[in-house]
Amino acid sequence: MHTLTRTETGEPFMESVEGKVVWKKLLIIPLFIFIFAFCFFASVHQFWTYEPEQYNFSPSLQTAHAGNTSAAPKDKRKVIILLWTWPFGQRFNFINCSELYGSPNCHFTVDRSWSQKADAVIVHHRDVCWNTKGLTQQPRFPSQRWIWFNLESPSHSPNLGAMKNLFNLTMSYRKDSDIFVPYGKLQLLDEPQPLSIPLKTKLVAWVVSNWREDSRRVKFYHELKKHITVDVYGQQHLPLPRDKLLFTVSQYKFYLAFENSQHEDYITEKLWLNALSSGTVPVVLGPPREIYERFVPPESFIHVDDFASAADLARYLLELSDDAERYQRYFKWREWLKPVAGISWAMHVCRACHFLQTTELSTCLDGTFLKLLSFLKSPCWTLANPFGNSVCGFASFNQDQKHVVALLAEGRRF
């Protein structure tokens, strides 16, 4: 009787088993490659079909008419935005935001019955700062965005402490806001334009409505007028109809774009509209020069801080006035850039619409207003701040750090 040995039957059997194992392994490899490739191309497709930010500014859209702001939106893709109050009570027409940015339009409403259905609620600070009762009684769902909206400086933004734990997004002129809405911007031209300077027959103009003798700008003016003639328009000064502002200022070589208070990024229509849009050279008093240079070319303005005294500034303006070649250098940037001012409320809320449509937002913490001491320990520009711009954009909106520390030491709320 012949006994089967391993060499006679075991090896072929093992070879068969091992062959099947190898074959299964070979099948697993292409299957894994197929799954990986499918996931990869799916993610790439999603990335390339994601709509990038587009900002096609069109001033004519400011007059576009609004649709029905209370009916339910038909397009499921539309983000619903509730405007809690008309800013300063100024009603305006909502516009088609898709024409501005290329992203889907939003459904805007001022009907507060939509408060629980809205994706976002925009709240204008000055309209609620002394009465937040209606807001605090409203529940904010985890996925809902409450947007703190303010274009005023900290000096004119009372009762900031009442905003604690209400908001999770900020919208202001501050560049580190979640939603950046400046007073003006520069538009790049398609081709260079020939230099064109309005005829100048006068020297220095200043249009001012909020006159306070103890303010820095009024004190500086009193020193400046000792050395150079300044024509002042506004209350208790030379009359100036609103529709004559640009034409009147365009006749002056220089315009005093003096802000009513000095804070980071607080650069208002005094620069964008009164000076740049009228075609004159702005003499600015506000945040430091390097802040202005974030928004406009270095040789588009004259900063009072560049001079040791008002007398030195007056001397420079008089010299510049008599030197046409040097004066024209302040207009060189206009060959390629055009100032755009007078951005409407409708455009600001469209900016919020575009942000919400194109920005992936994780669930925020309850409120952006953390304790000021925590903010002081975690400056906005460092990675030490784990809360993102929504904290910095609001907390840093207060006065400079030394002033904040002084207020805290006094036990004051603001």
Catalytic positions, written as ranges: 152
Three-state DSSP state, 39: helix
Widest CA span of the chain, in angstroms? 131
Reading the block at residue 56, the tokens are 């096609």
- Between 310-321 and 216-224, two packed helices, what is the crossing angle to 10 degrees? 60
Q: What does the alpha-carbon distance between residue 169 and residue 293 come to, in Å, rounded to a whole number?
A: 26
Q: What does the alpha-carbon distance between residue 40 and residue 133 come to, in Å, rounded to a whole number?
A: 50
How many CB atoms sit inside 10 A of residue 336's CB?
15
* Strand partners of residue 83: 122
Cross-sheet strand order for the sheet of 107-109:
107-109, 80-83, 120-124, 145-150, 169-172, 179-180
Q: What does the alpha-carbon distance between residue 180 and residue 355 come to, in Å, rounded to a whole number?
A: 10
Strands 281-285 and 302-303: parallel
> How far, rounded to the nearest angstrom, does the alpha carbon of residue 414 sit from its chain's CA centroid?
23
Strands 337-340 and 185-188: antiparallel
Q: What does the alpha-carbon distance between residue 357 and residue 351 come to, in Å, rounded to a whole number?
A: 10
